[in-house]
Each structure stands twice: as structure tokens, then as C-alpha cells.
Structure 1
Amino acid sequence: MATTAFEEIAETFEFLDDWEDRYRHVIELGRAMEPLPAALQVPATKVEGCASQVWIVPRIEGQGSAARFHFQGDSDAMIVRGLIAILHALYDGLTAAEVLEVDATAEMGRLGLNEHLSSQRSNGLRAMVARIRSLAGATAAA
């Protein structure tokens, strides 16, 4: 149940045979992302469990079960900014219930990221996914 934006990333990754090319593409995705304003880089938006500094700020559009989940994110590490960009493509614009249905591990596995991230980066990625799911869960319960 991936978004069109995520499917486009997955298709690009299929054409990139070499992990270093994929790694560079992840960094490019991060560079293309709008930076999070410094005013939003506060303890309340910081994702705990990441080796790098990571912030995720949700924005809900609409109300009830039709409300759409959007978020902005940022990091002080370029590869992590790229991972945030991929998560943005995976989740942004879904309803809160749809966010909770996404199997992020399987979707990220399609990109081959699971085998190539360090254990610290993998833990950080899991922490970001958990934060997104928590924010969406709070929206769904509201």
C-alpha cells in the first residue's frame, strides 16, 4: 500500500544496481527536501533513539477518518535526511488509519535498505517510523 511517490523511489532503486549509487540517491533525496525551520527543531519534535539529530513535525489536514497525515522532518545527517524524505514519500498524504496499515519494514526492504544500513541507522529508522505511527495513532484516536 505504498504511495505513488514511494513507488517512484522504488522504481528508481530498481535501476540502481550498485549500493553506492542507491546511497547517493538517498542523499540526493535528502538534499532536495525543504529544511525544517529552526523554530520547529525543539525537544518536543525531536525523535529519540536516533544517533543523529532528527525532528518530525506532523500536520493534519481535515478532520475525522478522512483527515490526511502530513509531516515535515529534518536531520543534521545527510543520509538521515534522505531516509526522512523516503518516509515522507511513504506516508505523506495518507489517512491516519492508512499510515498505521503501512508495513514500513517491508516497504523499506523493497529498497534494499535493511541490508545496508548500520545498526545505529536501522535503529534510528525504526524510531522515526515509530514516531510517525504514534503521531498518526493519536490523530486516528482523536
Structure 2
Amino acid sequence: MTDTAFPLEPTAADAQQAIKDEFAFFGDWAERYQYLIDLGRKLPPFPEEWKTEEHRLLGCQSLVWIVPQGDAGRLDFRAVSDSAIVSGLIFLALRVYSGRPASEILATEADYIADIGLAKHLSPTRSNGLASLLAFIRETAAAAR
């Protein structure tokens, strides 16, 4: 896998704090949604040949594809969605978890979701999709240990 954009911060905890700090700059959810869309545009390129049923994440209303690579020492995830907001949610999850050891992934709860108020502002289908994404990341880490 090339062009891994993550990790941006040295630890998952640092990534969650950075996300919390960034979202605190915005006064309302219209601005936060726009920021999510902007983050989604920063995802690394995702090869078209990876957009297969094998890599499709189930449990999402939007189309989401995710490809994990690595081992217990470092797991990298590449993912993309056909939805702009979901792409932003993917960016946040990868910022916290991608490029980290399996042990760190498993030890890190997705506190950023509550910290920025995201849980209250996602539709039920997006919440379910985000839960599926986070479960996939954790299951991949657990299998790699």
C-alpha cells in the first residue's frame, strides 16, 4: 500500500484531541458538516479495482469500501465512500486508527464521536454505518494480534 496519509498524529489519543480541538472552532453544525465534507476530500486516492464486493463494508446505506493491510505491528486502512459526509466520517476514523499497532487500536475507544457531539447529529443510518466501520477496524485489529 502506498500513499498512506495516516497517522497524522503520534498516537490515537493525540488524534482524538486534535479532532476535538478542530471541531471546537466551528459554531454550528452546518459548518461542522462542511468541514466533514472537506475532510472527506482529503482521503488518499482509492483504486477503482478495489471497489469490489470483497472490500465493501456491509451495514452502511452509502457505498463504502475498505481495504486493510499490515500486521499486528502496524495496520493501515484505505477506504472511500460515494457519500461526501460519510467520506468525512471515514477520514476521522482513519485519522484515529490507521497506521497504528493492533494493540493501540483495540485499546482506543472512539471518544471523539461523543466529544464533538457527532452522535447527536448523525442520522440513524449514518450512525449505523459509522458503527460498522469502527467494528470492522476493531475486528481487523483483533484478528491481527
Gaps in structure 2 of 5+ consecutive residues: 1-10
**Distance in 1, Cα, partners of 2:53 & 2:130:** 18
In 1, are the aligned partners of 2:12 and 2:104 still within 8 Å (CA)? Answer: no
Counterpart of 1:9 in structure 2 is 19
Q: Distance in 2 between matches of 1:95 and 1:7?
A: 19
**What CA RMSD, in Å, does the superposition of the two structures yield over aligned residues?**
1.5
Secondary structure of the structure 2 residue equivalent to 1:32: coil
Match of 2:41 in 1: 31
- Inter-partner Cα distance in structure 2 for 1:5 and 1:92: 11
Query: Runs of 4 or more off by more than 4 Å in structure 1?
Result: none
* Aligned partners of 1:2 and 1:107 also within 8 Å: no
Q: Count how many residue pairs are aligned between Structure 1 and Structure 2.
A: 135
Question: What displacement does 1:24 show?
Answer: 0.5
Residue in structure 1 matching 2:137, options 121, 132, 135? 132
Q: Counterpart of 1:23 in structure 2: which amino acid?
A: Y
Separation (CA, whole Å) in 1 of partners of 2:19 and 2:26: 11
Is 2:103–2:141's contact at 8 Å kept on the other side of the alignment?
Answer: yes
Task: Return the structure number with greater helix share.
Answer: 1
Select which of 77, 83, 86 maps to 1:80: 86
Aligned to 2:117: 112
Structure 1: any 5+ residue segments left out of the alignment? none
Structure 1 counterpart of 2:68, from 45, 58, 61: 58
Contact 1:49 1:123 in 2 (8 A): yes
Report the alpha carbon displacement of residue 45 of structure 1 after superposing the two structures with TM. Answer: 1.1
Q: Report whether the alignment pairs 1:95 with 2:105.
A: no
Q: Tell me the CA shift for residue 2 of structure 1.
A: 3.0
Q: Secondary structure at the match of 2:27?
A: coil
Cα offset, 1:112, TM superposition:
1.1
